[in-house]
Amino acid sequence: MRHALKGLVLCLVCLPALAWAQEALRIGYVDLQRALNESEAGRKAKETFKVEVDRMEQSLEKRKSEVEKLKDELEKKGLLLREEERDNLERDYRQKLRDFQRLYDDSQQELKIKDRDLTGRILEELRQVILEMGEQGSYTVILEGNNTVVLYGAKAIDLTDTVIKTYNQKGTKVSSKAGNKTAAAE
């Protein structure tokens, strides 16, 4: 009986503190990858990036066909040519192959940098929206809602749709910059 009375007193003392702590603690999460993919700026950045990838692929394809043409010529005519002509053709083939490989590597690196630049700016702007939401909404913490950080989160505290909507309404510096770059490229 004595233990039961102590437990009851402890509950009566701790219950108001727990209720206060629950009200003060406000948690949310945002799936930044989804916000990036579904926001207007994210979709525009993807389109801009796809245009750039297609342009580079066309350029690389042209160079690749030149290299393959030289290789075919070397394989077909190599035995019929004089040694000096064959050596020149082989040298030309090796040079064009090396140039193609460098161009390919440079293109891949350039695309990585452009992707990182486009998405980095948008992610920074999304973080700013989340920061403002956190401060205005009196959140204690807002987590990134990918599967490695939040293993489970109730839909009620998923702020992703709200972040996307707020971000789209605010407009973005990135979409106007990307639009200017696209217009300048044309």
Tell me: the pLDDT tens digits for 61-70? 988 998 898 8
> Residue 172: pLDDT above 70?
no
> Residue 33: pLDDT above 80?
yes
In a domain, 16, yes or no: no
Q: List the one residue out of 182, 180, 136 whose CA is nearest residue 159.
A: 136
Note the pLDDT of residue 76.
Answer: 83
CB 98 within 8 A of CB 63: no
Q: State mean pLDDT over 105-116.
A: 93
Q: State mean pLDDT over 33-50.
A: 93
* Domains held by the chain: number: 1
Note the pLDDT of residue 23.
Answer: 62
In a domain, 10, yes or no: no
**142: β partners:** 28
Q: For the whole prediction, is pTM greater than 0.75?
A: no
> Residue 120: pLDDT above 70?
yes
Note the pLDDT of residue 152.
Answer: 82
In a domain, 83, yes or no: yes
In a domain, 17, yes or no: no
In a domain, 14, yes or no: no
Query: Mean pLDDT score of the chain, rounded to an integer?
Result: 80
H helices of the chain, in order, are: 2-24, 32-38, 40-77, 83-136, 160-170, 173-185
In a domain, 11, yes or no: no
The radius of gyration computed from the CA coordinates of the chain, to the nearest angstrom, equals 30
In a domain, 6, yes or no: no
> Residue 7: pLDDT above 90?
no
Domain membership of residue 46 as a residue range: 25-185
Q: State mean pLDDT over 105-118.
A: 92
Which tokens belong to 180?
A: 């200017």
Q: State mean pLDDT over 97-110.
A: 93
